[in-house]
Amino acid sequence: MLTSTVRVPESDVESFVGSAALGRARGYANATRIRDVAYDAATRRLTANIKGSGAAGSGRWYSTAVHLTVPAADGSSRPLRSMCSCPVGLNCKHAAALMLFVSEQASQDESIPAWRRQAEDTLRALDTPRWQPEAPVVGLQLSVVPDELAPDDGPGGLRPGLGNRLKARIVVPGSGGRWKSAGVEWDRLRYGWDGALSIAQAGWLRAVDALARSHRQARVWLDLCDAEVPALWPLIATAAEAEIEIVPGDGLREVVPGPPRRVGLTAWSPDGSELVLVAAAEVEPGPDGTRPLSDDDEEVDRPLPGALVGEHGDMVALVRGRVLELSPVGRLDPGVARRLRDWRALSVPDEAVAEFCADFLPDLADRFPVVDRVGRLELPEWDRVELELTIRPLAGAGAGAGARGGSGAGSAAGSGAGQGLELVLQWRRVDVMRMSDGTEAERRRPLTAEDLGQRGPVHGDPDVVALAAAVAGAGWPWIIADGSVRISGRDAGLVLTDGIEQLGALDGIRVTVLDGVPQIRRASEGPRIHVATEDDRSGIDWLGLTVSVTVEGRPVPFAEVFRAVVTGQEEFITADGLLVPVDLERFGELRVLLDEAMAASADRVGREPDSTGVRIGLGQAGLLADLAELADDLAPPSGRARALLELASDTPAPVPVPAMLDADLRPYQQHGLDWLAMLWHHRIGGILADDMGLGKTVQALALIAHAHETADTGEVGPGGDAAGPGAPGPFLVVAPSSVVPNWEAEARRFVPSLRVARRSATEAKSATTVAEDAGAHDIVVTSATVLRLDSESYAGIEWAGVILDEAQQAKNPTSKLFAALAGLRADFLLAVTGTPMENNLTELWAVAALSCRGVLPDAKDFRAQYRTPIEKNGDTAALDRLRRRLRPFLLRRRKELVAGELPPRTDAVMEIELSATHRRLYERELARQRASLLALLDDFEANRISILAGLTVLRRLCLDASLIDPAHAGVASAKTDELIAALREVVAEGHRALVFSQFTTYLDTVVDRLRAEGITVAHLDGRTTDRAGAVGEFTEGGAQVFCLSLKAGGVGLNLVGADYVFLLDPWWNPATEAQAVDRAHRIGQTRPVLVYRMVARDTIEERVVELQRRKAELFASVLDSGEHFSAALTADDLRGLLD
């Protein structure tokens, strides 16, 4: 900090030190006497070294510090306090000189810019070595002195034993080699730096004072007997570094470290007759049990006087002749240390020693270690060890903080154990004593740390080890502890049922159960689950569901069972004192099912968490089936319960093939009709998700025929109930625009007796209204686009049912199409799609929400219960639960499993190597896109369109460089060349091929090249106006190759005339590619089908193929019971595309 910015008005200096000191200060305020000026702006502390006024220029240098106020508006400060190492110390002339000096500097430098002053000050400080004044010689004198609160009754005034005090004072050398008081008071040192000391010395002494923690007044002598000894030891070791000498007190020669000692009572006989017990510190015995003392040692004859230091007695200061010895001591209980410090010498006459040993010595030995110097004591003999366990209730206290089993898992207030138990645990030493009357008696006392750690190898005593091992071997290792353990719930129940008996049977354990401890017994059986159903009488299609749990025939609240499940306790205690085992996995599943039932309940609002009665709809067939499987006791199901269980079964009741159906159904298609008829009968929709090419259309038309025939004839439907009178009403088929004509044709072909109307345009462009067509026809076929535009008209009709073909087109629950479908008035909606989910589980939820309403929770709960746990956390339990919920309402068959007559399909990847020029263009564009897109990925959702547009540029460039810049038309496309070469060979061998690409402009290039090669080609994309003509050109006109865009030709077409399929560019969604391939590999195909995916090596196309693999795993894991899958597409995935 710039010292030249510090300014103190002279008037303030005079007020601070007085006019006399100010006058003397003027002669010191110059650069020859003031060095090392520094100012700390943070503490506002101004310091310097100032030369005193010694004769002939030999003045002593003093360290001076001044604390200033916060600068005022004019930049001036006022002094608050000062300290100096000169004799005056406070508010001296040196402090005044320092303030005058820096103020003069500030006045002289005002004309110099601040930056220049700072630079000059910095360089000056770097070039000038910092001068350090010579530290004074200072010592810390240690003395053992009598406690002024006790009489001086020992040699030299010291009290026998450990009741003296260890004190310290600050000293400096005096005359004759003696030390004298430095005149520095401890009290003064606490509040700042004393000028008579160096900064390091003052800091070290202040640390000693802080550790002393003395409550007594300390001006000259500081009492260390209450010091924090563990920290004091290392501090004493650093005294020399702080230039402090450790000095012995008057009459002592030196201070030395002593051997480790233990403190207690020592018996000695000063005159050979009476026995005297004093508090003493004995040298720790060596491995052989003897104390390492020589015969001429003063300590052999009598215990040394000293002081026990520290609250825990960690140090003892002993006076051995003229030596002060500081020895470490094992940590003591504060109460024991205090009693030893206060112990008065106890004298026992010779004739009373035996009586003393019998009647008093055992009690003293309970409290203190006892050392016999004279061999006249009969100390108690250690016979054995016992563990005493006392069990008592904690009425109203609960388990408390730090309690074992403090959750009280499964506990109940009425059981007593729920209030908690306290186990008072105490290791006890059993001594055999000889009494004064000559008899022997056992005496039990707590086994202390002294016993276990300070009396030789006691802690390894075989009795202790064997008893601890026995307790642990019986399954109670946590019992082995001193003090008390608070327990509740399961732990309390185990102690009361098993622990008392098992521990009481062990030798060496005494178990005492106090009054008030509850009676707990083990239940004869685990909890049983009961499920009962009842039809709702309101006339609404709801089912009343009641679930209960009993133990030995008595009901048990769910809260008790589920608390055990949540806390992982394998037993819980009922309110009437039964310890009940719990199958955690089974009841954990029950808890999940009941939570799900509550979420789906018709009257979920206001229900209590422990309620066992809920109402569920037909959509919860899987839930009821899971509960029934879990139950020990399932009451005879009601009518609707039977319906739900039928829905959940894998074997729907068979129905005859409708007479009006002009088709032969394969076995799997007949099973599909049985399943659809069951759904139709219960008026709940479903998802027909068979692989493409398995005849989903004919199965849906068979259902419509079944509905008409059973409605017209009143035949009994699945489940044994009448299907209902009268015609069912019109069915609405909603399909992509491209396949609406195909649906009309198929309906007229397979159910020729039913009236079919096709609505390819909105009412505004049609000759008839929606209502007119619905009233005059049995089936109305329309496109998703027309439905969306005329949604109000379609919503005004009471439809018998809705068939939603390619249902994945409604996968976005926020779209207008989804809203239009949700607004239709129909009790039954069948979603027909080979790919009910393409990217994530929300798409599956959307299709299910339209078709089988009530099967899955609402969107928010679905995200919490299924999507997040499955996609982000890999929760296989949630995945299995989702499969079970959907199973009754989703039917999916794989081609390879049900259509054995299908010829084989072979998939292969054709790796394309870009030309050198093409590669350079790709790498350059990749670097450019990477630079711009990586920044956008930080906010993926907001920049999604820009990101995908950039990636599309790279994908187009992999196909043909001219697709991104016509200037590159001369750059050869290796993919196009390889395709033409392959097709030339395919056509030459008499085969026909489908060629798919997402990019219509690239298809134009391919078509032109094929025609140039003389290969006949048909072409279909979104721009094609005569779709039927383009398809007919291939199916009937004999075109050898059919080039199609994925979007226009990937669905709704039967192109079994082709047996080769080429996919020119991998698409993000593997399901879309699969649909395209299935145009050729489907029922009706008689030749093996070969599928080639053309992928440019070391490009974004390879990364897209990897993403396809992950999405295929997602699809298979949910719909095909495959293994678990990776999460949905993320920003990190897209970063990987740019690597």
Domains of the chain: 3-127 (no CATH), 135-286+299-379 (no CATH), 383-521 (no CATH), 528-647 (no CATH), 650-898 (3.40.50.10810), 905-1137 (3.40.50.300)
Most confident of 149-158, 557-566, 1079-1088: 1079-1088
Q: What percent of the chain has pLDDT over 70?
A: 76
| Residues 142/255, Cβ–Cβ less than 8 Å | yes
Q: Which residue has the tokens 């030369």?
A: 51
Q: For residues 791 and 730, what is the distance between their CA atoms, to the nearest angstrom?
A: 17
Residue 710 CB-half CA count within 13 A: 23
| Residues 340/309, Cβ–Cβ less than 8 Å | no
What tokens were used for 434?
């000889």
**pLDDT at residue number 1111:** 59
**pLDDT at residue number 787:** 95
Q: Does 972 or 1107 have the greater pLDDT score? A: 972
Of residues 979, 1000, 1001, 982, the one with CA closest to residue 991 = 982
pLDDT in tens, 710-720: 985 544 444 44
**pLDDT at residue number 777:** 94
What tokens were used for 682?
């219960």
Of residues 74, 78, 72, 25, the one with CA closest to residue 52 = 25
- DSSP one-letter string for 790-825: THHHHHTSEESEEEEETGGGG--TTSHHHHHHHTSE
Q: Does 923 or 575 have the greater pLDDT score? A: 923
Mean pLDDT of the chain: 78
**pLDDT at residue number 1:** 42
Which residues are paired to 34 by β-bridges? 50
**pLDDT at residue number 149:** 57
**pLDDT at residue number 176:** 72
Which residues are paired to 627 by β-bridges? none
Q: Does 148 or 144 have the greater pLDDT score? A: 144
Q: For residues 1105 and 1107, what is the distance between their CA atoms, to the nearest angstrom?
A: 5
**pLDDT at residue number 800:** 95
pLDDT in tens, 659-698: 999 999 988 899 999 999 988 988 888 999 988 778 899 9
Q: For residues 483 and 826, what is the distance between their CA atoms, to the nearest angstrom?
A: 72
pLDDT in tens, 325-362: 999 988 888 888 888 888 888 888 988 888 888 778 87
Most confident of 19-23, 851-855, 1070-1074: 19-23
Apex CA 509: angle with CA 508 and CA 511, to 5°?
155
**pLDDT at residue number 805:** 94
**pLDDT at residue number 436:** 54
Instruction: Place 301 in a pLDDT band, splitting at 50, 70 and 90.
Output: low
What tokens were used for 907?
């998939």
**pLDDT at residue number 941:** 62
**pLDDT at residue number 374:** 78
How do 1017-1020 and 633-634 pair as beta strands? unpaired
What tokens were used for 825?
């008035």
pLDDT in tens, 361-401: 877 877 787 888 777 777 666 667 777 778 888 765 443 33
pLDDT for 607 beyond 50: no
